[in-house]
Amino acid sequence: MTALDKEFTGSIPEFYDTYLVPLIFDAYADDLASRVASLAPESVLETAAGSGVVPRALASRLGVNARYVVTDLNQPMLDHAANKQGNDDRIEWHQADALDLPFENNSFDVVICQYGVMFYPDRVKGCEEAYRVLKPGGQYIFNVWDHIGENEFADVVTAAAAKVFPDDPPHFLARTPHGYHDVEAIRDDLNAAGFSDVSVDTMEEVSRAPSPRHPAVAYCQGTPLRTEIEARDAGSLEYVTERATEAIAERFGSGPVSAKIQAHIFTAVR
């Protein structure tokens, strides 16, 4: 992972929420929200909340007196999430580093993270912080994408971008969002942080889009892949997006398209 892999700035948050969230995140946010709500927690901490897809799925399922603290390292993403959420006195919004959480020990019943832990520069430290702020018996629930080969749109877009820049292919998607998928390695990180009761579910879904351009824009312009593309050629973003559109159309058709996505959901009990 590079420093730029964590930069969700400029127009990326809006593209991310408009294109990427309905494409790949909604089903998994609903799953995560259901898991948390079934525990009837009084206090929930979310790390790396991004554009707020999980708060929008979870808040209505929490009790009227629940405390829900939503954090992200990137203030632009957090601002976007808060603006999309609307008023809710139960929710607190904090810019926070998941590796150095500004909360007391034993503060939360549940800590959750949707597709954020792969961005942590020190994943064991992230697990340790979740462990520290959880109450005894509390649960750390998070999901990670499986290997990019199990996530077809991302794989096709990465290959298309590599054809444009064969001498220096942009590998953000394979390196970071899809780079932390080894179940046993993740279990080892959780064990190293103190968690001994760990379970994992692998969940396959179908990603659907109204046209081949939709997933091309989602990945090329709604993630830090955009930063990688523009770093190689500042004027090439639309060109790469079009090449990705063509590659998706060639494989999945020119009308509405669908492809496999797959993720792992971890639950670790303190």
Backbone angles phi, psi at 58, to 5 degrees: -95, -35
Give residue 14's pLDDT: 72
Q: Decide if pLDDT at 3 tops 60.
A: no
Rounded to an integer, the average pLDDT of 128-146 is: 98
- Between strands 257-269 and 134-145, the pairing is antiparallel
Could you tell me how far CA 168 lies from the centroid of its own chain? Answer: 25
The three-state secondary structure class of 73 is coil
Q: Give the residue-averaged pLDDT of 116-121.
A: 95
Which DSSP string corresponds to 93-104?
Answer: EEE--TTS--S-
Q: For the chain, how far is it from start to end, CA to CA, in angstroms?
A: 28
| pLDDT reading at 175 higher than 50 | yes
Q: What is the 3-state secondary structure (H, E, C) of 169-230?
A: CCCHHHHCCCCCCCHHHHHHHHHHHCCCEEEEEEEEEEEEECCCHHHHHHHHHCCCHHHHHH
CB 262 within 8 A of CB 151: yes
Place 89 in a pLDDT band, splitting at 50, 70 and 90. very high
CA nearest to 218, candidates 32, 84, 26: 26
Confidence check: pLDDT of 108 > 60: yes
* Phi, psi for residue 68 in degrees, rounded to 5: -125, 110
Torsion of CA 217, 221, 226, 227, to 10 degrees: 180
pLDDT > 90 in the chain, percent: 87
User: What average pLDDT does range 162-172 have in this prediction?
Assistant: 97
The pTM is what? 0.92
Residue 143 scores a pLDDT above 90 = yes
- Average pLDDT score over the chain: 94
Q: What is the pLDDT of residue 5?
A: 41
> How many residues are there in the chain?
270
Q: How many CB atoms lie within 10 A of CB 267?
A: 17
Best CATH choice for the domain 3-269 from the list 3.40.50.150, 3.20.20.70, 1.25.40.80, 3.30.930.10: 3.40.50.150
Task: Tell me: pLDDT of 180 over 80.
Answer: yes
* Residue 11 predicted with pLDDT over 70: no
Domain boundaries, the chain: 3-269
Sorting pLDDT into bands at 50, 70 and 90, what band is 101?
very high
Task: Determine what percent of the chain is predicted with pLDDT higher than 70.
Answer: 95
Q: How far apart are CA 41 and CA 28, in angstroms?
A: 19
Q: Please state the rounded mean pLDDT for residues 36-48.
A: 98
CB 105 within 8 A of CB 133: yes
